Structure formats: structure tokens, C-alpha cells
Structure 1
Amino acid sequence: MANRYWVVSLPVQNNNSSSSIWNQLQQNISKHSFDTPLYRFNIPNLRVGTLDSLLSLSDDLTKSNAFMEGVSLKIRRQIEELERVSGVNTAGLTVDGVPVDSYLTRFVWDDAKYPTMSPLKEIVDGIHGLVAKIEDDLKVRVSEYNNIRSQLNSINRKQTGSLAVRDISNLVKPEDIITSEHLTTLLAVVSKYSQKEWLASYETLTSYVVPRSSKQLYEDNEYALYTVTLFNRVADNFRTSAREKGFQIRDFEYSPETHESRKQELDKLMQDQESLRGSLLQWCYTSYGEVFSSWMHFCAVRLFAESILRYGLPPSFLACVLAPSVKAEKKVRSILEGLSDSSNSAYWKTDEDLGGGMAGLAGDADTHPYVSFTINLL
């Protein structure tokens, strides 16, 4: 599948027919750029309206196209992220059950969804409204999913951060804690470089500390977690003395109910995340197809309107899709220009093409004597 396609229209003039121009294009592409895929782009007879309405519509077409391409890209990137996290590897995105590139190269107008007798502005507004609604839905769904992810990330940070800040409830077992009428167990966070000092001094930080009661429960790259058992009535004095020595006493009260509640909360968040990820991914698959289909109908309207503004009435042009490689682009452009009415084609050339001469009428390096715009699939 190519990543970039050109959608172009060539004028049909001088007693030629679209079939004749098509045959010439096929022959030239086959002879000079045989590796460039070429397809007809089938546009129905749409309602032209007035020249003023076409001019007014033309002002909005480029902006609307950028919007639709942007929404398509957002959904595609969201799909790629979700598939990467989920470990899903799909065969490829589809539109109406066919691969994306096949939908573009075999485009068929959906008259039931977009009646051809409707004014062009009405069709464009309808397409824009549908894509805008999908974008709004995307924002809501992604926000909901990211909220769950943020909650889980916050919990994970508390469980994986340094001992100075992390949740230590999953590091402490019931048998590590002594709580009675007179005794209590405190938890001390000690720098790895101060462990010898801790073990040598904790019994003397205050009176009534149980000798040899300190036990290491856990160690990370920076700190170690120790218990110490002492009389309740000297606990505050011990905290003060420990702080002066650079030891941190973590407030902790072991509760089986709290521990179980936190575990259940974490399990539920993980289940919610998996559920939301799956539903968001399925929604993205469907919505990408809807957006891409809408975008291609919009491109058909855009090509139709710009071709009339370029070539005049009645509508008489050949619409096609090409996928040239980067190295073949210049040659294909030359072929397309040769099949256009080139009596004034010099006015459409860029400074570079003219060797530094007069700029093109539109002052745009991507302006040609035929209608052309690019569709990026990635």
C-alpha cells in the first residue's frame, strides 16, 4: 500500500472525451512511469449551483480538508498506540469492509448518504458536521480512558517510587508489626549509606527501645525499610531523635481491611482500563472508517468544485488517482501537464521550474495547470 496518493483532474477539451484522455494518460504512465499505480476516481454529476456559491465554497474547502485529514490522523495514531499497548497486530484498517487504499482507488459515491441533487454546501456541511461529532466523541472517550490510566499510573508510582514516598503497605506483613497496650512498632526509612549507623544507634535514640528489634523489610536503590519496636510512651521522642539523625519514620498503621480495599481498588482499575481500552479500540476502528469515507466524499466534492472553477462549465474533466514514488513524481507531473491545456501552462510553473523567472499565478509551489491535491494515508 502506498502512503501518499494524488487526486487530480485533467480538462477534457478540443473535441476529446474523458475516455480519450484516460487512454492517453494510461499509455504515457505505462511508457514513462510504469511503476506508478493509476485509477479512475469516479465522481457523480453533482449539483453545480451558481458561480458565486462555488467561489464561496472554495474558500472553505482547503480549511475543511485540513480538519478532516487531522481527525483521520488523530484516530489512526490513537489506534496505533492502543494496538501497541494491547499487543494487537491487525492486518490493516478497513473502510466499509475493504482496505483503506482499496476504498480510495475504487471509490464509489454513496448516494443514499449524500444525495447528488443536494447543494454542494449542504453536502460539505453535513460531512464536516459528522467528522466534528466524531472528533468530539474521540476527545470524551480518550479523556475517560486517560483518566483511568492516570489513576493507575499514580498508584504504580506510589508502589514503585523510592521508599521515601511510595506506598509501603504491600511491603509490610502482619507478623512484622507488634501492637499492644504498651508496645508499638515503627517503620524507619534509612539511606543505604546510613544503614550501619542506624543499626548501631537505633537502640539509644531514646529509652525503652526493645534491643535487637530492628529488622530490614525491603531495600531499593536509595533506601532500606526497617522496623523498630519500643514502648508507646516514648514513640514521639524516638521520632524526634531519628529525624535529627536523618532517619525518616513513616506513619503507618497496618489494617487488613485497608490493604484488601486497596487491592480491590487496583484490580478494578486494571479491569476498567482493559475494558475501556478494548471498547475504545473497537470504536476507533469503526470511526476511522466513517471519517475516511466522509473525507473521500469531501475530496470528490472538492475536486468537482475546483475543476469547474478551473475549467469552466459544463463540467468536463477526467478525475483520477495516482500513487507515484518519490523519484517518479517529477516525471508524472510532466505527463499530467502535457495532457492539460498547456497553452498558458507557463503561468502555472514555479520559480524553480522557470529557472528563476516569473512565479506562478497562485504563488504556490504545488500549483499546476490541472487540479491536484495530495492524500496522506499515514
Structure 2
Amino acid sequence: MASRYWVISLTVQGSASSLWNRLQEQISKHSFDTPLYRFNIPNIRVGTLDSLLSLSDDLLKSNSFVEGVSHKIRRQIEELERVSGVESSSLTVDGVPVDSYLTRFVWDEAKYPTMSPLREIVDGIHSQVAKIEDDLKVRIAEYNNVRSQLNAINRKQAGSLAVRDLSNLVKPEDIITSEHLVTLLAVVPKYSQKDWLSSYETLTSYVVPRSTKMLYEDNEYALYTVTLFNRVADNFRTSAREKGFQIRDFEYSSEAQETRKQELEKLMHDQESLRSSLLQWCYTSYGEVFSSWMHFCAVRVFAESVLRYGLPPSFLSCVLAPSVKREKKVRSILEGLCDNANRQVVELLSVTFWKTDDEAGGGIVGLTGEADAHPYVSFTINLV
């Protein structure tokens, strides 16, 4: 599948079928590996020249917006598939691959009546895509919120003993809590373990001898228990801190443990559910946005062709996918099919509408937004 296509239109002097045959013949003879397709545009309501000129000012900006939303949804699909471990599937529009939808484009009369003013069609496409983009933002925010909560929990469980959640490291039998006794949890630097074992009983009075036990260790710290009288707990915390030992506040509760476990399971379920739902929504919405984009491209070809070639509308629109090495040859073929009058129009446009290199900051920008002027309508569609 090609990822880059040209949409072009050529003015028709005789018959469209004759021009199409000539184009096919030239492409087949000089650039046989360039796919070529008709881009069928219906008879759209032209309106006044003033309305068409006014519309042309917004076409490029609106096209960038619709194209941008299409790519944004596609990137979101790729990210969700990567995270989910889902094998990338071929994106479709109305059940057909996106490249086939483009190269076999058929105008949806039910959705976009051709008797509607062009401005109404363009505004309708823009509004529909804007609504989808807003919906995408809401859904992504909801998914990312759950994912952030899970990441925060995972960080607590994966961090060092100085900061991580200790609830999954401590068992009920490790803790003694009575009217007079309490068990504290000490986070000891690994290089200070010998110092801890030799000094913890003397950090304050009323420490239960030989009560310390190591529960866990990571790359930096070891987690120890120590049992002492409740009334000297504050003194022990102060003395331990002075020695470089951190006493972590911890209160074992089987109910709290179960609650945290249930919350974690719910978040994991919610994340998977939201991810699956978002992915399915993106598949559907990508098709809708891509379809809207292709209809917009059809309007753009029509409007720019009328402005360039005049009334009544008489032009041949096509889609091509030349390779990079064939681009110059295909451009030459297309220009060879334009009459001299068209070339003179382009020369005039180059002086009147197209900026010079200096004025454009090093690039020539035309009415169609292309990098250079051609004696025919041309713009590029990037599928990815």
C-alpha cells in the first residue's frame, strides 16, 4: 500500500474519456509502476464566484485540521495496539482498506447532498470532525486517568523501601500490637545492617531483646521489624533517625489490605476495559474521519479546478501514487497534457499569487498549498 498520493485535475478541452486514455497511455509508457485511478467527483453546486473565492481561503486550513485529526486517531490506534500486544490490523473505511477507499472513491450523496452549498458541506465536515476530536480527547483523558492511578500504585510497589508501599511485604505474624507492645518497621541502608543489629536494642530503653527480623531487602535498603514498649516508641524513632535508620509508619489491617487489593483489581479491569473500548472507538472513528477527509478533498479539487479552469466545470480528476524516483517524470507527463493557455495562467499566478523565495522564506507557496506551481491542480495526501 502506498502512503503518499497525489490528487490532481486536468482541464478537459475535448472529452474526459479521451484525456483519461491519453494519461493512461503516457503513464503506462513512461512510468508504468505508478498506480493511476480516476477520482470521481459529482456535479457539485458551484454558487457564486465570490463565495468560491471566499471558500478557497479556508480550504487549506480546514484540510490541515481534518488531516491532523485523521493522523491523531491513527497514532492513537498504533499506541493502543502496541500496549495491548495486539497485532496491527488493516484500517478500513466502510469495510474496505483506506487506500482502496481513496482510489475507488464514491461520493456519499445521502450524507453530503450535492445540491447543498459548498460552504455548508465544508462546514458540516469540519463540525463532524471537530466533534470526533473532542470525543477523542475526553476518552483519552479518561483512559489516561486510570492508567496514571495504576502507574502511581506500581511506582509505590516498585520503588525503594524508603518510599514504596509495605503492605504486601508484611504478614500478620510479623506484627505484634498489644496494650503495651508495638512493632515498628525500620528501613536500614544495606551498608548499615551490622550497625543496626548491634545497636537497635540500645537505641532506647524497653526494647525487646533479639526481636528484630529482616522481612525484605532491595538494592539499597533492608526492611527490619523491632518490638518495644509502646511508651518509648517516639524516643526510639528519634534515636533511629539520628543513626540513619528510617522508621516507616505502618499499621497492619487485613481489611485495608483487602480493600487495596480490590481497588487494584478494579483499576486493572477498568484500564483494560477502557483500552479495549477506546481502541474499538478509534477504529470506527478513523473510518468516519477518513471518509470525511476524502469528501473534503473532493470539494477542494472541485473548488480549485473551477477557480483555475473557469466555468462550466470541465476537468478530469485523478489519484496517482508515483515513487520518489518517478515524480519528476510524472510531473512532466501531466504538464505535457496541459494546453498552452493553462501554462500562461500559471505564469500569471506565479507573479500574482505565489510568493517569491525571499518573500516565502525560502519556499514558494501557492493557492493549493503545494511547494511549487503547476499548470494543473495538484495536492498531496499522506495516509500516515
Candidates 314, 317, 321, aligned match of 1:316: 314
Q: Counterpart amino acid of 1:370?
A: Y
Secondary structure of the equivalent of 2:67? helix
Q: Does 1:172 align with 2:163?
A: no
Closer, same or farther in 2 for the Cα pair 1:3/1:167, shift >3 Å?
same
Q: What is the aligned partner in structure 2 of residue 191 from structure 1? A: 189
C-alpha displacement at 1:51, in angstroms?
0.2
The answer (yes or no) to whether the contact 1:342–1:369 under 8 Å persists in 2 is: no
1:377 and 2:383 aligned: yes
Q: Partner of 1:11 in structure 2?
A: 11
Q: 1:204 aligns with which of 197, 202, 213?
A: 202
Q: What is the Cα deviation at residue 338 of structure 1?
A: 1.2
Answer whether contact 1:215 1:228 (CA < 8 A) is retained.
Answer: yes
Identify if the C-alpha distance between structure 1 residues 199 and 361 changes in structure 2 by more than 3 Å, giving closer, same or farther: closer
> Which residue number in structure 2 is paired with residue 251 of structure 1?
249
Aligned partner of 1:304 in structure 2 is 302
Instruction: Give 1:268-347 correspondences, 5 Å limit.
Output: 268-343=266-341, 344=343, 347=347
Corresponding position: 1:31 with 2:26:
no
CA distance in 2, matches of 1:111, 1:326: 35
Unpaired segments ≥5 residues, structure 2: 358-363
Corresponding residue number in structure 1 for 2:238: 240
Judged with a 3 Å threshold, the aligned counterparts in structure 2 of structure 1 residues 208 and 56 are, in CA distance, closer, same or farther, namely same
Q: Which residue does 1:213 correspond to in 2? A: 211
Q: Which whole-Å CA distance do the structure 2 matches of 1:360 and 1:196 have between them?
A: 74
Work out the CA distance in 2 between the residues paired with 1:214 and 1:223: 15
**What amino acid is aligned across from residue 119 of structure 2 in structure 1?**
K
C-alpha distance in structure 2 between counterparts of 1:376 and 1:199, whole Å: 67
Q: Please show how residues 68-147 of structure 1 align to structure 2 within 5 Å.
A: 68-147=66-145
Greater CA drift, 198-207 or 138-147: 198-207
Q: AA paired with 2:185?
A: L
Distance 1:157 1:301, change over 3 A: same
Structure 1 unmatched ranges of 5 or more: 353-358
- 1:4 to partner: Cα distance: 0.6
Closer/same/farther in 2, CA of residues 293 and 361 from structure 1, 3 Å limit: closer
- Which SS does the other structure have where 2:168 is aligned? helix
3-state SS of 1:136 partner: helix
Deviation digits for residues 156-195 of structure 1 (CA, Å, limit 9, x no counterpart): 1111111111111111000111111221110011112211
Structure-2 separation of matches of 1:24 and 1:89: 43
Secondary structure of 1:185's match?
A: strand
- Within 2, Cα distance between the matches of 1:132 and 1:309? 28
Q: Which amino acid aligns with 1:11?
A: T
Match of 1:356 in 2: none
Summarize deviations over 1:89-126 as a string: whole Å, max 9, x none. 14300000000000000000000111111110011111
Question: Take 1:33 and 1:57, find their aligned partners in 2: how far apart are those partners?
Answer: 35
Once the 2 structures are TM-superposed, how far is the Cα of residue 233 of structure 1 from its aligned partner?
1.4
**Superposed displacement of residue 143, structure 1:** 0.6
2: CA distance between counterparts of 1:224 and 1:370? 75
1:375 partner amino acid: I
| 2-structure distance, mates of 1:87, 1:301 | 39
Deviation for aligned residue 1:342: 3.9
Is contact 1:35-1:324 (8 Å) kept? yes
3-state SS in 1 of match to 2:247? strand
Question: 1:367 Cα deviation (Å)?
Answer: 2.4
Per the normalisation by structure 2, the TM-score is: 0.93
- Structure 2 distance, partners of 1:77, 1:125, is 25
Per the alignment, residue 61 of structure 1 pairs with: 59
Q: Deviations over 1:128-162 (max 9, x none)?
A: 11001000100111111111111111111111111
Percent identical: 83
Cα shift at 1:361: 7.6
What amino acid is aligned across from residue 379 of structure 2 in structure 1?
F
- Distance in 1 (CA, whole Å) between partners of 2:28 and 2:41 is 24
2 CA distance for matches of 1:59 and 1:144?
Answer: 37
